[in-house]
Structure 1
Amino acid sequence: MSRVLVLSDIHGNLDALEAVLRDAGKVDTVWCLGDVVGYGPQPKECLHRIANLPGLICVQGNHDAAVTGKLDLYAFNREAILSIQWTRAQLSADDVEWLANLPEKVEFDDITLTHGSPRNPIWEYLLDLNTVQVNFSHFTTSFCLVGHTHIPVMYTYFNRNGNGKDEGYVDWMIPQPNQKIRLIPRSIANPGSVGQPRDRDVRAAYAIYMPESQQWELRRVEYDIRAVQQKILAAGLPSRHASRLEEGW
């Protein structure tokens, strides 16, 4: 049975990425849901590490797009702008080209992969149920995997017909670490963030997916946060990028 490593929002945090790769063990393929770079102190190293993973499928995140010039920097806050400008200076022309060539959305078999949402792959956040429900009409596969919010979550659309009308509704849950869940068709799942979790759990987040059984398992792993904070400050990046790592927001 094949094992897929699903990860997102690495954000230049090599220490967290290496911890995830060690914890995940042997996998058959890797699905990366975007934002390899941004915020963190080792964007080049993270890009090269991701690019060489086995069977990689990677989509473009908003920070990846901003580094390539695809997005207007002023769509971001001041600290994110400083990080994007610094990141650009660390990458080679080939690195930037690799990011620029990432697709916004990938569909295959019963899976859609994207960063923000199926409706707006680069920028839209799936944080409220109204936005989530609208997005179910923007993909036709059984499952859609997203990142961007840095929060592990799962949404499922249930089509409840009554009086000839679609009275569908969205249910949601926050998976617990190491909890094995069978994905129900018409689900959107988010593995959380490797490099900058925002759910008040400082551990790096990722998921293992088993396509044959449609089993989804959220995982969390500790890494040396202090070491990454020191690298952020030594690089002259905004101190907020360091402080939020130990607070998980």
Structure 2
Amino acid sequence: MRHRLRGTWPRRPCRARLDRRYHRTGAIHRALRRRCARHPRRFSCCPNQGGPHRDRVLRDLERHPQLRIPEGHGRRGATAAYPRHRRFHRGLQLGRHPGHVRCRSACGHAAHPVRSHLSAVVREARLKIAIFSDIHANWQALEAVLRDCPPTDETLCLGDVVGYGGDPKHCIDEVTKRGWLTLVGNHDRACTDPEILEWFNDDAAAVVRWTVDTIGEDRIAWLRGLPDSHVEHDVLLVHASPRDHIYEYVLDTAVAFANLELLNGGVCFHGHTHVPGIFGMSDGQVTHEYRVDKFSLKGPALINPGSVGQPRDGSPMASYGVWDVDNETFEFRRVKYDVKGAQRAIRKAKLPERFALRLETGR
């Protein structure tokens, strides 16, 4: 009552103070400030407030950090270009969830830049998964693929992290550090089961023996624990084929037809052949498609993303793909890498020369 006796009233915070309070919070919380239900003129940043939208927006921003608005691009910087009578209304700036903001251009108000940006994040967030296969101890190719790969929610590896190449330790350490779900390939299995080396040619078997002597017991134990199949969003993932998860090569229409029948209209990602492409069915006939492009996933289909470290389709570029789960599409991608560096690693390890030479032609 003291201010009433003096004949004065408490002054509202000036615009500069509101700006300082607004910019003092982080980019995420700044965009999620909302009016307090008890005091409409006040605003709240309490972590427990904001409704169900807040958690979803925070999760999307953590998933896509490149879409955050940096400091200095908020209200103060955006309003500088507007006359005073056309500056942003406080209700638009410090209001509620970004989805509730409306652009009232007819009234001279513009949508808040942080708000509209966060709304785009929520709208465009989709589940995307990178699919790698047959790295084959080629660190230079794996490094190039990691640089080229667009932001994804997770990565799946279809097996054969080792074999042929000269950097098995580096590749295994990178895969384990990133925590990728990895399946076992025939070269991975050969490192833990010497009996199957009888099925390998002499040069490939020599590389497996060198790998076992090089990588150490911890990495061998990791290879031993790899699963041979996995189901992700109702899609089967194997190294070789649905009929034989580790060893069968799907290279012709007869083998493809037998495996497509086992899918019952479903989709399977596989590797092993080092040849990218999609086997499908059309009018009872087996079809095969491939180009560096985006394809819709229509079952039954066998999808091979190609090989990261040992491509054999005539192109020396590393091959992989990105699976858009929500849109049901798969995009084949290719990227150049340091072939000379991969060849030097093979020669430094004194592995068979033909594994170095074939990297130049992709055969």
* TM-score, scaled relative to structure 1: 0.92
1:123 is matched with 247
- Note if 1:145 corresponds to 2:269: yes
1:135 is matched with 259
Instruction: Give ranges in structure 2 of 5+ residues lacking alignment.
Output: 1-125
- Note if 1:19 corresponds to 2:135: no
* Fraction of identical pairs, as percent: 39
* Matched AA of 1:57: L
Alpha-carbon distance in structure 2 between the residues aligned to 1:201 and 1:227: 17
Q: What is the CA distance between 1:151 and its match in structure 2?
A: 0.5
**CA distances 1:209-238 after superposition (whole Å, capped 9, x unpaired):** 100011111011011101111111111000
Q: What is the CA distance between 1:247 and its match in structure 2?
A: 1.1
2:301 is matched with 187
Instruction: Indicate the structure whose relative CO is greater, using CA pairs within 8 Å and at least 6 residues apart.
Output: 1
* Number of matched pairs: 238
Q: What is the CA distance between 1:141 and its match in structure 2?
A: 6.8
Matches within 5 A, 1:88-237: 88-140=212-264, 142-158=266-282, 168-174=284-290, 176-177=291-292, 179-237=293-351
Q: Is the 8 A contact 2:136 2:164 kept in 1?
A: yes
Q: What is the CA distance between 1:60 and its match in structure 2?
A: 0.6
Q: What is the CA distance between 1:148 and its match in structure 2?
A: 0.4
**CA distances 1:163-212 after superposition (whole Å, capped 9, x unpaired):** xxxxx3322112x22x1111112111000000010011000000011000
More displaced 10-residue stretch of structure 1: 14-23 or 101-110: 101-110
Q: Is the 8 A contact 2:274 2:311 kept in 1?
A: yes
Q: Which runs of 4+ in 1 moved over 4 A?
A: none
Q: Is the 8 A contact 2:238 2:271 kept in 1?
A: yes
Alpha-carbon distance in structure 1 between the residues aligned to 2:184 and 2:225: 8
Q: What is the CA distance between 1:25 and its match in structure 2?
A: 3.1
- In our comparison, the structure showing a higher alpha carbon Rg is 2
1:10 to 106, 128, 135: 135
More helix by percentage: 2
More strand by percentage: 1
SS where residue 155 of structure 1 aligns? strand
More displaced 10-residue stretch of structure 1: 18-27 or 202-211: 18-27
**CA distances 1:119-146 after superposition (whole Å, capped 9, x unpaired):** 1111000001011111123335721000
